Amino acid sequence: MSVGIYCLNLVDMVMVLASNSRINSQRLWDSLEEMALIGPGVRGGCNRQTLTDADGDGRHLFKRWCEAAGMTVGVDKMGTMFATRPGTDPDALPVYVGSHLDTQPTGGKYDGVLGVLGALEVVRSMNDMGIKTKHPIVVTNWANEEGARFAPAMLASGVFAGIHTLDYAYSRKDLEGKTYGDELKRIGWVGDEEVGARKMHAYYELHIEQGPILEAEDKTIGVVTHCQGLWWLEFTLTGKEAHTGSTPMNMRVNAGLAMSRIFELVQTVAMDNQPGCVGGVGQVKFSPNSRNVLPGTVVFTVDIRSPDLTKLNAMRARIEAEAPKICDGLGVKCAVEAVGHFDPVTFTPELVTTVRNAAEKLGYSHMNVISGAGHDACWAAKVAPTTMIMCPCVDGLSHNEDEKITIDWAAAGADVLLHAVLETAEIVE
């Protein structure tokens, strides 16, 4: 009986490896923990706000890691970072995969960061397995996704997709009056690439859910089919500065009182549009913000969202119709400016199927989800086939230093990301 020696040639070996491959979960977790040390919060989370020195330090670490993984790093004029792993076909458009490294002031370790370092881990794992792909892979760190310091959110990806001009983006100011352009220059991360000049074959983004559904349904992977739309309405209310003690109640022009009644209005409008709508306010600025002076001006941003465009715009219309009446009744002047917006997003069905098939193949429980939070993928979807992958987070908590995920959830998300990217980037010998 001849003993046939069946040996796998290199291509078969790579294909077998690739078909069952998993990322290195401990290496991913260690990278997440190391990045979290940069711009630490005060309760175990992160405060690595965009264009701060901490953001700059995080960028340098990410660049070092990318170069150590054999990638070359380009930067565009908005400061977005693109780390390229070459493909075998120099004419093939790259598969982009990433998210953001900037955090909220009281952010977690994983919002955005899991997507960037999960993408880096995909490349590191491809290197380990000697996998080559036809299409290059570009690991991406989008600048200013959060919009916490410079509104609107997803600013750099918005310029990339042609939604905002570079001048508009550079002019955006933080609460201290510093501009995006000046701060980007100050940290030394103004790149030379024209924003949006890069063309994508596809874009994938891994992100924590930032909501309670996956954990509650005991599902490991969120197959993201849509993302809800958003309006950020910035109100500037003008009252009259006056003594909080000696000014009679009937003589007050109280912008703070008007603000509180508009908060109630936002809550009522959102609750009147259940299910599937949300509304609230996260940022308020009183001037002069002194305990015993009635505010002369109050500036705050109303954040309303819905996956239903009609409901989203109806909420905006009702708030913009009723808020001025509240102010008129108090003698307060009311100005509103839309400072952030995107319509609900439908991700690319073919890529959504690729993600679902990868989760199936890897044996991960999964379900379709609509993203409650906004992401750079919302703008990438304007210029390329795009979709997202989500993993659960503990109690659905995010934008809070107590944000938690498990190493298994992180690994599952990055495993699915690996297989989706390999499918789209096409493994070759």
Contact footprint for ligand HGY (CB under 6 A): 145-147, 153, 373-374
Residue nearest to Mn ion (CB): 112
The reply to whether 111 sits near Mn ion by the rule CB under 5 A is: yes
Shortest distance (Å) from residue 146 CB to ligand HGY = 5
Side chain identity at residue 300, one-letter code = F
Residue 147 contact among ligand HGY, Mn ion, none, beta carbon within 5 to 8 Å by kind? ligand HGY
Closer by beta carbon to ligand HGY, 376 or else 423:
376
Closer by beta carbon to ligand HGY, 65 or else 300:
300
Stretch that binds Mn ion, among 112-120, 175-183, 193-201, 212-220 (CB under 5 A): 112-120
Which residues, in sequence order, are CB contacts of 126 under 8 Å at separation 6+? 85, 133, 137, 418, 422
Closer by beta carbon to ligand HGY, 278 or else 367:
278
Q: How far is CA 22 from CA 17, 18, 126, 245, 411, in A?
A: 9, 8, 10, 66, 8
Helix (H, G, I), strand (E, B) or coil at 207: strand
Provide the sign of the torsion angle of the four alpha carbons 161, 163, 165, 171, taken in this order.
Answer: negative
The correct pick among 112, 181, 222, 340 for binding Mn ion (CB under 5 A) is: 112
Beta strand 366-371 with 221-227: parallel, antiparallel or unpaired? parallel
Residue 376 contact among ligand HGY, Mn ion, none, beta carbon within 5 to 8 Å by kind? none
Alpha carbon distance 28, 207 (integer Å): 14
Closer by beta carbon to ligand HGY, 158 or else 413:
158
The tokens of 242 are what?
């006056």
The reply to whether 56 sits near Mn ion by the rule CB under 5 A is: no
Stretch that binds Mn ion, among 109-117, 129-137, 156-164, 281-289 (CB under 5 A): 109-117
Shortest distance (Å) from residue 104 CB to ligand HGY = 7
Shortest distance (Å) from residue 214 CB to Mn ion = 16
Residue 153 contact among Mn ion, ligand HGY, none, beta carbon within 5 to 8 Å by kind? ligand HGY
Beta-bridged to residue 366, according to DSSP, are: 221
Stretch that binds Mn ion, among 42-50, 55-63, 103-111, 257-265 (CB under 5 A): 103-111
Helix or strand holding residue 309 (H, E): helix 309-328
Stretch that binds Mn ion, among 80-88, 108-116, 228-236, 318-326 (CB under 5 A): 108-116
Is residue 342 a contact partner of residue 262, using CB atoms and an 8 Å limit? no
Closer by beta carbon to Mn ion, 111 or else 401:
111
Alpha carbon distance 14, 198 (integer Å): 30
Residue 158 contact among Mn ion, ligand HGY, none, beta carbon within 5 to 8 Å by kind? none
Shortest distance (Å) from residue 145 CB to ligand HGY = 6
Closer by beta carbon to ligand HGY, 370 or else 373:
373
Helix (H, G, I), strand (E, B) or coil at 114: helix
Shortest distance (Å) from residue 115 CB to Mn ion = 8
Is residue 104 a contact partner of residue 196, using CB atoms and an 8 Å limit? no
Residue by residue, DSSP assigns 120-179 as HHHHHHHHHHT-EESS-EEEEE-S--S-SSSSSTTHHHHHHTTSS-HHHHHH-B-TTS-B
Shortest distance (Å) from residue 383 CB to Mn ion = 19
Q: How far is CA 192 from CA 12, 142, 195, 330, in A?
A: 41, 15, 9, 51
Residue 374 contact among ligand HGY, Mn ion, none, beta carbon within 5 to 8 Å by kind? ligand HGY
The reply to whether 374 sits near Mn ion by the rule CB under 5 A is: no
Residues that bind Mn ion (CB under 5 A): 111-112
